[in-house]
Structure 1
Amino acid sequence: MKKPTDTKSSVVKINAYNVFDIKSVFQDISTISGSGLVTDFIADSVLYDRVLSGFSPADQLSVTGGGSGTNTATVAGRNFAGKVGLTTDSVISYNSNDFADPVYNRVTGISNDGKTLTLVEVPDITDVNEGDIITSGTTSGVFRVRVPLISNIDDAGLYTRLPRRNISNLNSSNSNLIITTQVTGKSSSSNSLSLTSQDALDASAGITSAFLNHLMLKNIQ
């Protein structure tokens, strides 16, 4: 009989993700049986400016070029360690006299003392951002972290909080309920796609399906 052996293990790293990590969305039609979809869907998140906790909107990011495909960056008197809102894979932007558009770079490392970032290139988007890193020398500019946001999350359900705790009557005759549906089975032609209202308002769409889907999800939860 083989003698059991003890194996010691330890946690070396934990990755915690949130909404700020959503840089794109993708729908793979091959994984959705009977959906009627004819093509995959992919879209990039719109990234908004965010000032890090403990930093000033006027803080200047000093970027130094290197020969290894990376840049290093620091902010005088500031520290990137701790819960300031910056992690590896965060996207930062800064204004530089070397480029017409704001520079976007991705953070791949934060030094142990929290003072220095390691930056790499991201793709260029015309009239949006310059994704290159500098090859040598230094440059500086006001910087921001670029993050996605979920809009109107408070209005994303079928329920809403009433202004008072005790209400005996409620008149909803002038209320509006906006519903959404996904139109399937359509193909583009010459980079355009034509839709009519009837494409979305068939027998299985509309307010009934919206309520049923919501109730089904609520029961599952």
Structure 2
Amino acid sequence: MSKEQTVAALFEAGLVAIIRKLETRYIADTAVSLKRGGCKFIEITLDGGEALEQIAMLAEDEEAVVGAGTVLDATACRSAIGAGARFIVTPTLEEGVIRAAQAHGIPTIIGALTPTEILHAHRAGADVVKLFPAGSLGPAYIKNVLAPLADLPIMATGGVGLDNLQDFKAAGVRLFGIGSSLVDKRLIYAGEYTRIVELTRDYIQLIQGQ
């Protein structure tokens, strides 16, 4: 997919599953469970010691679209792309990361908090702006922010779960990054992958439902 096609597919799907610091031996079964539940966009955060290996593993899976998260600088961005990452996610506004990803035709999801940061990220070339931490801000904050910035592509991440996702959706959010409430390590370590499938379907139903 081209960069534009990847971004369009992200918003059509509505969900990015975030895997953080999970041992490599659990990655394949976790990815299979997410895909069975209907989620093909999977973010591996770089703060895990085996992240690049895991990205390379999932990059070979034609049914998944793997990206790198917690990308803090251009060097890490290039390493992730070299491993096979097809989108790049940052927690903060890092223009060097945007430039590095653009050089390789890879879309970026750039972290921002305030209206000034959000607009700055967009103007700097972010393909999507990640509102983080969304749960701490709350749906009302996001609704107010999006009032003058309604045309900006936004992803809400951090503190969003099944209990409050509808409120964020009502506030205007169309794309969500979901971590531990979906990729629950307790379930994974217990081998309860069926629950991961069920949780994924629950999220997809809420996100894509009318």
Q: Do the structures match in fold with TM over 0.5?
A: no
More helix by share: 2
Higher relative contact order (CA 8 A, sep 6+): 2
The structure in which a higher percent of residues are strand is 1
The normalised TM-score by structure 1 is 0.22
